[in-house]
Structure 1
Amino acid sequence: MTKEQFMSMLVLDGFPEPTLVQREAGGFLDAHTHPFEVQAFVLSGQIDLVVDGVRTAYISGEVFRLLENQVHTERYGSNGVQYLASRKNSAEVI
C-alpha cells in the first residue's frame, strides 16, 4: 500500500489525520490497551504486534489495525520503527 492509498482509506473509514510515531530500536511495550481504535501505516523499520497470542510483523508499506481496548504487545525492530497512526474513539462515531 502507498501512503496516498492509506490516507484515502482513513478518509473513507472516518479516521482523522494521522500523527507520526517514532519508536526506538529494540524497544518493547508489555501487554496493554488503548482507549481508541488505531489504523497505522509503517513508513520505515518494523513493528511486531502480538494479539491473542499471535505475533505479526509489519514493515514499510504495511498497515496494521488495533481495535479499541484490544490487548496487545509491541516490539520494535533493530532499526526502530516510524509509522503514521490515526486514532478514533468509539464515542466519535455518529
Structure 2
Amino acid sequence: MSDFSEAGFARFGEQAKHLGFDEVLKRRWDPGVFLDTHTHSFAVQALVVEGSMWLDLNGKSQELGPGSRFEVDHELPHAERYGPDGAVFWVARRNRHP
C-alpha cells in the first residue's frame, strides 16, 4: 500500500533526488483534460496519488490510477488524458541531462 501523506511525499522527493532528479512537485489536473502529443525538456518520474489518467507513450495507451508509477524521458513524444475525477500525481523532474 502506498503512503500518500506529506511524509510519503517527502520520501518520494528524497528518493527522486538520490536518483538525480532535481525538482519535485505535486501536479493536479482537472477532469477530462487532454494534452495532445507533446514533449518536455526534462525527464519525468511520477506517482499517481488520486484520480486516473491515460498516458499514450511509444504507441501504447496505459491507464494509471493511485499507486501507479510512470516515467517519460526528456523530448519523448507522449499524450495525456485525465479521467472523470481528474488526477493528482507527484512528479520528479530531471532538468539536467548527461
Structure 2 length normalisation: TM-score? 0.82
Structure 1 length normalisation: TM-score? 0.85
d(CA) in 1 for partners of 2:72, 2:41 = 10
Superposed, which structure 2 residues align to 1:11-90 within 5 Å?
Answer: 11-90=17-96
Q: Which amino acid aligns with 1:13?
A: L
Gaps of 5+ in 1: none
d(CA) in 2 for partners of 1:70, 1:80 = 23
State, as a whole percentage, how many aligned pairs show the same letter: 32
Q: Which amino acid aligns with 1:34?
A: H
CA contact (8 A) 2:22 2:95 kept: no
User: Structure 1 stretches (4+) deviating beyond 6 angstroms?
Assistant: none
Give the length in aligned residue pairs. Answer: 92
Q: Determine helix, strand or coil for the equivalent of 2:15.
A: helix
RMSD: 1.7
